[in-house]
A and B are shown apart, each in its own frame.
Chain A
């Protein structure tokens, strides 16, 4: 393998060959992986078809458990997409140079998980064929309509955010000799490159555009997750009707999102042999960011629980009791321990095998945060508003299969997309790392400088 420590030319060659390897030769595990994940997605589609024909009762709903798994999925999958957007945007805005090998993976993950998350809006409604009415008859005082436009705007921004840095890369692939610039792909890259020549004027314009969208996507993502929380907090139900829900959801989204970026980056790094460019150091730094967010989320959870418990009003207290000592207690404490405290400990405690511990922490955080979303949705959706009888959500195979299929759709989407777009931002890497220290050491110095002087 080429070593990036040689001449600038050799480094550029190494970057290009690593970036296009998934396009040219994705490896012998590629098709088995795509088929396996595709089968899971197809199973989920079949389960959805069954649900459409039979009605939503097959997914375990009832009048006293009117929201459940799909609503948790919607929040969780859109939530994780924030991680990709944020990692890339924050690192761009703060001009952290070690970001270069991560941005493409992060931005693609953001787009794919957002598409998967938004599709739960279709799965969750009783009449999916009428969703167009939100545009045609939209009632602007409805949080669902706010959700729709917030997610739509964010989706457009995510596409632009992925596409802009891709322009220069497409131009490189367009002119690169070899199989990447033949047939369909040649047309695709020519289209995507938009006549990019790499002139100073073009480069200046592109950089200011990327800078602008990187700044814009931060408030956009905050608005999406705030508005998602409003669908809950605008009601009068105990446990949902809470003023901290906006920031609570935002921090939860970033926490789970950074965790997903870690998982995806670690997996792709291994699968496509990107170890030369993405070092354990990168993942450890992302792990530290994740721990900061985990502490933030723990604080919000504590704050919410204490407020609900202390005033002792019947409805608030019943929700808190259900979570801390009632039927949902095992899941709640599982979330607190395995979803927050263990991940923090895995990353924060120094020692050997830091990389493995960060990845394990990230997996726990992603799963734990999904569980937490379920624990936000279910107690308040099933708590009695008249009388004392709780409703109950019946877990059936349908939402489980659909949720697993949606989970499989994220790696599937990434595997397919990286057959067409380079997995590393070639142009950006060449510019940020080309004439400097070896890539393997750059991140550490840069990152420490960045961490020492945030902002």
Chain B
């Protein structure tokens, strides 16, 4: 059973504990509180998981209803956030992914158009604010680099979500793992803090919790690999491609936070990608037409992050 299905079914997934995150449980409770009968006629079931019927009402509508009747106060700020995002995400093609059947999984990919990046750093800010990271924990870091002709340019670096991830290979306890959607996550309840993954990562994309994590306001969820907030002292954290967002058809915080529309999130299966300013592209064509490259291709890590170079940049292709 795939991870996403396992999550949807509430059955044990990558660990011997129910993987249905508490925030999802809240949603289910909410659905129940709104007396949506899951066994009512018309309730569809998901492939490979018939023990938990799906309510015939979309989550977005549930949440909007919840907000409308003031349950928000009970569910906490995250639900509020869902409502906002649900509205904000309305015009985006990716938003409709939530309605897509759960059959073949996503293969998440990111495209970063360096021609558009002006180094404002709002992507980093959005990421840090929403994941409650310390200022030095730049899961998405914008480097200021110099090209061959001496001009500076900016290069945002998230986790490359390598298809052949060196960090996962060297983790002694399997705390770093790769989902079948191609996202590398860290189970911070398992990580022993040896930093072997930091040594193995060729992109400096992993960040350790050297001290107590950033304080986190009351969240409706316990930390999980898919939403590791608050971070755990003595363990490693990293960019998670906002799987807690993309699962529900929401944009990752950095994509949403980029005012230039330089960062696209997409799905190689659906062959579509979208940025935070409402543009969507056919992924394969977009990559091909713009001579997209991957960072340090020669290392054989097969990143899922593509760069579109501007002028004179050496990204090692």
Q: Which of B136, B143, B199 contacts A66 (CB 8 A)?
A: B199
Contact across chains for B191 and A55 when beta carbons are under 8 A apart: no
Q: Which residues of B contact A141 (CB under 8 A)?
A: 169-170
Q: Which of A152-160, A234-242, A367-375 contacts B (4 or more CB under 8 A)?
A: A234-242
Range class of the B interface residue count: 35 or more
Contact across chains for B198 and A143 when beta carbons are under 8 A apart: no
A385 to B191, CA, bound (A): 24
B64 at the interface (CB under 8 A from A): no
Q: Which residues of A contact B202 (CB under 8 A)?
A: 236-237, 385
Q: Which residues of A contact B234 (CB under 8 A)?
A: 55-56, 125-127
B244 at the interface (CB under 8 A from A): no
Contact across chains for B172 and A55 when beta carbons are under 8 A apart: no
B233: nearest chain-A partner, CB-CB = A55
Contact across chains for B172 and A381 when beta carbons are under 8 A apart: no
Q: Which of A126, A148, A231, A387 contacts B209 (CB 8 A)?
A: A126
A236 to B202, CA, bound (A): 7
CB proximity of A403 to chain B, nearest CB, Å: 19
Q: Which residues of B contact A57 (CB under 8 A)?
A: 210-211
B207 at the interface (CB under 8 A from A): yes
Contact across chains for A142 and B169 when beta carbons are under 8 A apart: yes
How many A-B pairs fall under 8 Å by CB? 122
How many chain A residues have a CB neighbour from B under 8 Å?
Answer: 42
A134 at the interface (CB under 8 A from B): yes
Q: Which residues of A contact B210 (CB under 8 A)?
A: 55-57, 61-63
Contact across chains for B203 and A55 when beta carbons are under 8 A apart: no
A266 to B171, CA, bound (A): 43
Mask, B264-281, CB within 8 Å of A = 1, is 000000000000000000
Mask, A131-143, CB within 8 Å of B = 1, is 1011011110111
Q: Do A63 and B198 form a contact, CB below 8 Å, given A55-B233, A127-B193, A387-B145?
A: yes
Contact across chains for A67 and B192 when beta carbons are under 8 A apart: no
Contact across chains for B199 and A381 when beta carbons are under 8 A apart: yes
Q: Which residues of A contact B195 (CB under 8 A)?
A: 66-67, 126
Mask, A381-402, CB within 8 Å of B = 1, is 1001111100000000000000
A126 to B210, CA, bound (A): 8
Q: Do A142 and B209 form a contact, CB below 8 Å, given A55-B234, A66-B198, A232-B199?
A: no
Q: Which residues of B contact A133 (CB under 8 A)?
A: 172-173, 190, 192
CB proximity of A191 to chain B, nearest CB, Å: 36
